[in-house]
Structure formats: structure tokens, C-alpha cells
Amino acid sequence: MARKSTNFLIALRFLLSRKRAMLMSLAGIVFGVTFFIVTQAQTSGFEQFFIRTMLGVNGALRVEDRIQQTMRSMEAERGTGFAISMDDSVEYIEGVEHPDELESAVARFREVVSVAQVLRGSAEIKGNFREMFCKPYGINLEQFLGVSDLDEQILYGDLDRFRNNPQGLLVGIKLAQRLQLEVGDPVLLEAAGSNERFRVSGIYETGIEQVDKERVFLHMPAARTLLKKPFGVSYLQVNLLDHERAPEVAERIERVVMHGSMSWQEREKTWLQVFRALRVSSAITVSSIILISGLGMFNTLVMIVMEKTKEIAILRSMGYQQRDVRRIFLWQGFTVLSLGVVLGCILAAGATYAISRLPIRIRGIFSTDSFVVHWSWTHYVAAALIATVIVMVASYFPARRAARLEPGDIIRGTSG
Amino acid sequence: MSVGSEASPPAGSRSVLQGKGIHKYLGSGERQVHVLRGVSLDLREGRMVSIVGPSGCGKSTLLYLLGLLDRVDGGEIHLADREMGAAGDYQRTQLRNEHIGFVFQFHFLLAEFTAAENLMLPMRKLARWGEEEMHERAVELLREVGLAEKSERRANQLSGGEQQRVAVARALANEPSVVFADEPTGNLDVKNSSMVFDLLNRLCHERGQAALLVTHNQNLAGRCDEVLTMQDGLFVG
């Protein structure tokens, strides 16, 4: 105990003898850790927000087209009648022919929380003397609320109005703006050669531009009538207990129910890769600040070793072991590191909070009016780990050099 | 008494450290010098021995070897009933802490510490006493060298003579068996030289510690219990 505190005490005094250089190294670590955490909080904040938005719109996975295995037979020898059958490929039959049976089969999976049938089509929407292309989505509202955040996305009007009106319609904000629609306005949907009259029950905003400018929600019976599809649905939208496990669940569902099943990770692969690349590149860029401060730490410790050779020699002559000298220098690195990490984390938390209050209007892949940050302890741990590795490696070499100094040589060298 | 390469021990006191047939080479290749040529020495408790001789004769080299700061190329060093000539760094360092005190030409005090804290550094490593006891011992030792009232001053706030007196007190902090002093007064004026030597001489005698003093100062050397003259790596009559 005494030995540890003595080494630390000596380390502290040595450190304070080069306050300015140490403060520079400390500042480097503080800012490196802060920037690392803040950039991670922002990039993963936007990523998480995108994932949340996208799960709230399209669910964790979709079960859609039926898979049909096609077999090919090859005659082994002409005239013998003996043939080898082999899997050639799979064919996808569009849509779900028996949605109720499929829904009950999918719902039996332990990880599945809720399932909703969706019938999708194309139509022309006419209102206020304007006409636009749209995609009607037939849903059973209560079912669909279990696999989406539609209730939270309503901007104008309300779901009760839609629930109570069989010819009600929910329209995206972009489409509503283009057609100058308001809640209560009548619209005409034209599809498959027929017209159906609906009334706007609500206007929603997902933040995903493609959805907000095309998608309109109808009750399932009305959609069947409009699209002339009395049977079957386009796909089942599924919500899971743990959306991170969607790829594995999708694979199992596909194997069991023989319908193509796609997880959100596969569906949004491109965007997820963009976010990951952003996160990694910002981490690498910001780590260079910590690396530079590590080099500063290295220089400072090397200077201390050079300045303190006599002190090291006298410590060794009075019984301090090589490992004590090594620890004295490692303690110096560790002290600056600990201070840097703690201050960096505190500063990062403050900066992250301040940034989350900064106004910024983003629409396109999600909807937000301020910077989105993701609070995660993993960012703090990662920053601390990177700083620890860099600073301790930077401290190790001067410490080793100090420990290897021969006290006799140094003292002899200073004697007259 | 010293005859040839061997300094014969006086009878009566217990032997603390023995060096037998010590050889040391410095440099390498054609520039290699045979600095010590089979020197033997016996240091006994309560006796102060001085080595005198011209520069480069090997007296400081011998002191560093006996003080376990350097390694012999031949011969034996016995300290605390152990042969230390071939011992590893860990063991030699441990024995230095327990049994050896050093006073060098320069005080080598740690400027960031007070006088008392400098004295506590070897004590902390030994871990024989508690924090308070170490501080009391440090102040007591500083009182013995006349610096009790300056115990809380930083080393760089003391004069040269005071710093060297603190270094003497520090050498005695762990109650070592033997104290090695390499030109301890070489950097001091006459008055301070005499004060530091008297201090070292008195404390070693009072505490029954062996002391080996390397010096160019014939006057101080003559005041030791025994004077050994070294020339070309050997003790001479």
C-alpha cells in the first residue's frame, strides 16, 4: 500500500513540475474524448432515429411473396426411365394468397409481437381540382397500429375519425400539401378502371418523403373494392420483441411458412451502411486528436525522463526498484489520462445536451426539428478505451526507458 | 591499515561489508581499462574509512561496486551474510534500501519535496514505519543535522550546505549498516565541508554504522579511523 501511494506521490510531484506541457496533453485528451463522444452521439443519434422512424412506418419485417420451389429432372440414361431430380431455383408468386392462415402461422413465432395484413396498390387521387399519383394501403387499423407508429404520426385530424368512417382516408403531409387537402375534404381515388369517393380523416407525417408524398391509408374492405382484389393481401407487416433479431427471425419464418421474408436490416441496407460509414469515419477522424495528444504525452514524459535522470538515479540508489520507476512514469500517464477521460466525459455530456437543443430542420429520411443525439454509455466506454490505449502506450516507452537507467552510470556522470 | 591490494581489518568490531579480490574493467576493446586489480576491503561497524588517491585511480568505482550500484567483473562482495557480486538487480536494490546509505558530491535531493519528505522517501520504500512515525523520524534526523526548523521547506529553498546536511540525514534514514560517501564535501566551502564531515563522522560513530568516504581532501581523510590510499586500482602502503 505504502509503496503504491509513494510511487503515485512521486509521479504527481514530477507531473506538477511540468504543468504547462501536462496541461497541453490533458487538454488534448479532454477535447479528443469530448469530440469522440459528441460525434458518436450525433451520428448514432441520427442512425437510431432513422431506424425508429423506419420501424414505425414499415415494421421490423415483412412477409410477402410465396416461394415456389421448381424442380428439374434429368434423365440418367436414355431409355432407362431413371432420372435425377434436383433443385433448380425458387420462384416467387406475388403476394399472400391466404393471409389469415399465414398470419396465424407467423403469429405463433415466439419473437413476434403483432402482425398486420396490408394490401397495396396504385391509384390516381383527385382533390381540389388536382390529380396526383398515390399508393393506397389497405389496412385493418387496430392491427396496423400494433406494427407501426401511425397513431404518433398523425398531424391533423385523428384516428377516431378514420376508425368511424369506412370511407375515411389518411393522407401523407406532402401529398396533402400538393393537393391542398385538409381534414374533412372529399377526394376521389381512381384505380383499376373504377372510382371511389373518400373523405380525409387525418394527415400524417412520417418524415420519410417517399412515404409522405405517395402513401394513403384506407380501410381494408374499401381498398379491396377500389383495387378489385377481393382475396389475398400484398404482405404481412410484423413487429418483433427485439428488432435487432429480425434477420434471424426472418430466415426462420421464410423457411417455415415458405414466403419471402425480409428484415428491416436487409430492406434498409444502403442507409444503414451510410450511417455506419459516417460513424466509423468520424470515430477515426476524432481519434486522431487523441492520438496527437498521446504523442504530446509521449514527448512530455520523455522530457521528464531526461530532466529527472538524477532523481531517478537517486531513487534507485535508495532502493526503488526498476518496476517502481516504471510505475512512477505510468502513474503520470494514468493520472493525466484519468483526468482527461473524466473531464472529457463531463464536457461531452454537456456538449451533447447542448447540441440536442440546436434547431435543425430535416425531412427526407426522417422528420426532426432539432439535432438528434443518442445517449449511450458505449460511446463513453469506447472513448475511454481509445484514450487509455493511446496514452498508456505513449507512457509505456518513456517509463521503460526510465526504469532501465543505470543509477551508477548517472551518478558517476554527474560527479566531478 | 592497508597493505598492497588488501586493507586488513582492525580487530574488535563486527564486519559489515567485505569486498574480496574485486576486479573491474571500464570501456571495451582496445580502450578497455583495468580499473580495479583485485582489491579487498573490510568495513566494520562504527568505523569510518577513507580512500584517497589521484583522480582515475578507481576509488569512486570501488565505492559504487561496494554500494551495489555497479557490477564487479571479478571478486566477491559480502553484505548481510550474502554474496552480492552476482546478485540480480532486484536483490541488490532491496539490499541498498535496507543496508546502504549514500551521500554524493551533489545532494540529489528531489526539488519537488520538502526536506522531511526527502528523508521519508527511503523510509516509504522500506515500509517499516507508519506515516506519522516516518515523519517523526525524519524531523528527528533533521534535528540531528541542525535543520529541524526547516523540515517543511522545499529542497530548493535550502542553501548548499543545508542541502548536503539533508542528504546526510537521508543516507541514515533507514538505519543502514554502511554509509558510502563519494566526495560529500566536494561541492562545499571549507566551513560547510567541515560541518558535513563532522556530522557524518559523529552520526556513524554514535549509531555504530560503518562508513566509507572517498575524498581528495587529505585533511578530512586524516580525521577518519582509517585511511586507505589507492593508486592504479590497488591499495598502496
How many angstroms away from the CA of A6 is the closest CA of chain B? 7
Burial annotation A282-320 (CB, 10 A radius, 16+ → b, else e)? bbeebbebbbebbebbbebbbebbeebbbbbbbbbbbbb
How far is it, in rounded angstroms, from Cα A103 to Cα A101? 5
Which member of B97, B112, B186 has the closest CB to residue A318? Answer: B97
Could you count the other beta carbons within 10 Å of the beta carbon of residue B169? 28
Using the 8-state DSSP alphabet, how is residue B176 labeled?
A: -
Task: Please tell me if residue B108 touches chain A, with a CB cutoff of 8 Å.
Answer: yes
Is B170 in contact with A318 (Cβ distance < 8 A)? yes
Which member of B64, B89, B131 has the closest CB to residue A412? Answer: B64
Q: Which residue of A has its CA nearest to B118?
A: A315
Q: Which residue of B has its CA nearest to A404?
A: B89
ipTM above 0.85, yes or no: yes
Task: Report pLDDT for B203.
Answer: 81
Q: Model confidence over A234-293: pLDDT tens digits?
A: 999 999 999 999 999 999 998 888 888 899 999 888 888 998 898 888 888 888 888 887
Confidence band (pLDDT; 50, 70, 90) for A1?
A: very low
Q: Model confidence over A107-166: pLDDT tens digits?
A: 999 999 999 999 999 999 998 778 899 999 999 999 999 999 999 999 999 899 999 999
Is A318 in contact with B90 (Cβ distance < 8 A)? no
Confidence band (pLDDT; 50, 70, 90) for A3?
A: low
How far is it, in rounded angstroms, from Cα A264 to Cα A211? 16
A48: pLDDT strictly greater than 50: yes
Could you count the other beta carbons within 10 Å of the beta carbon of residue A257? 20
Residues 136-175 of B with CB under 8 A from A: 170, 174
> Measured at the alpha carbon of residue A228, what is the angle toward residues A227 and A229, in degrees to the nearest 5?
90
Pairing type for strands B48-52 and B210-214 reads parallel
Classified as helix, coil or strand, A240 is strand
CATH of the domain spanning B2-111+160-236: 3.40.50.300
Is A311 in contact with B69 (Cβ distance < 8 A)? no
The grid coordinates of residue A259 equal: 414466403
Task: Report pLDDT for A82.
Answer: 65
Is A411 in contact with B64 (Cβ distance < 8 A)? yes
Q: What is the mean pLDDT of residues A312-332?
A: 92
Q: Which residues of chain A are within 8 Å of residue B69 when distances are taken between CB atoms?
A: 317, 407-408, 411
> Measured at the alpha carbon of residue A60, what is the angle toward residues A55 and A62, in degrees to the nearest 5?
120
Tell me the domain boundaries of chain B.
Answer: 2-111+160-236
Task: Report pLDDT for A86.
Answer: 60
Q: Which residues of chain B are within 8 Å of residue A407 when distances are taken between CB atoms?
A: 69
A346: pLDDT strictly greater than 90: yes
Residue B117 pairs in a beta bridge with none
Is A416 in contact with B90 (Cβ distance < 8 A)? no
Task: Report pLDDT for A70.
Answer: 66
How many angstroms away from the CA of A369 is the closest CA of chain B? 55
CB proximity list for B136: less than 8 A, separation 6 or greater: none
How far is it, in rounded angstroms, from Cα A177 to Cα A410? 83
Give me the residue label for grid cell 382516408.
Answer: A169
End-to-end CA distance of chain A: 38
Q: Which residues of chain A are within 8 Å of residue B67 when distances are taken between CB atoms?
A: 317
Task: Please tell me if residue B45 touches chain A, with a CB cutoff of 8 Å.
Answer: no
Region of poorest pLDDT, from A272-276, A362-366, B55-59, B182-186: A362-366
Task: Report pLDDT for A220.
Answer: 95
Which member of B111, B125, B127 has the closest CB to residue A318? Answer: B125
Is B93 in contact with A319 (Cβ distance < 8 A)? yes
Distance of CA B231 to the CA centre of its chain: 20
Q: Model confidence over B1-43: pLDDT tens digits?
A: 333 455 555 555 788 899 999 999 988 888 888 989 999 999 9
Question: Nearest CA to A147 among A121, A118, A122, A173?
Answer: A118
How many angstroms away from the CA of B103 is the closest CA of chain A? 10
Which member of B94, B112, B127 has the closest CB to residue A13? Answer: B112
Write phi, then psi, for B179 (nearest 5 degrees): -115, 130
Question: Nearest CA to A47 among A238, A243, A273?
Answer: A273
Which member of B106, B111, B121 has the closest CB to residue A318? Answer: B121
Q: Which residue of B has its CA nearest to A323?
A: B90
Query: What 3 state SS string does A62-75 have?
Result: EEEEEEEEEEEEEE
Question: Nearest CA to B44 among B174, B185, B226?
Answer: B226
Using the 8-state DSSP alphabet, how is residue A365 labeled?
A: B
Region of poorest pLDDT, from A59-68, A340-349, B132-141: A59-68
The grid coordinates of residue A411 equal: 551518478
B115: pLDDT strictly greater than 90: yes
Cβ(B217)–Cβ(B184) under 8 Å? no
How far is it, in rounded angstroms, from Cα A195 to Cα A357? 47
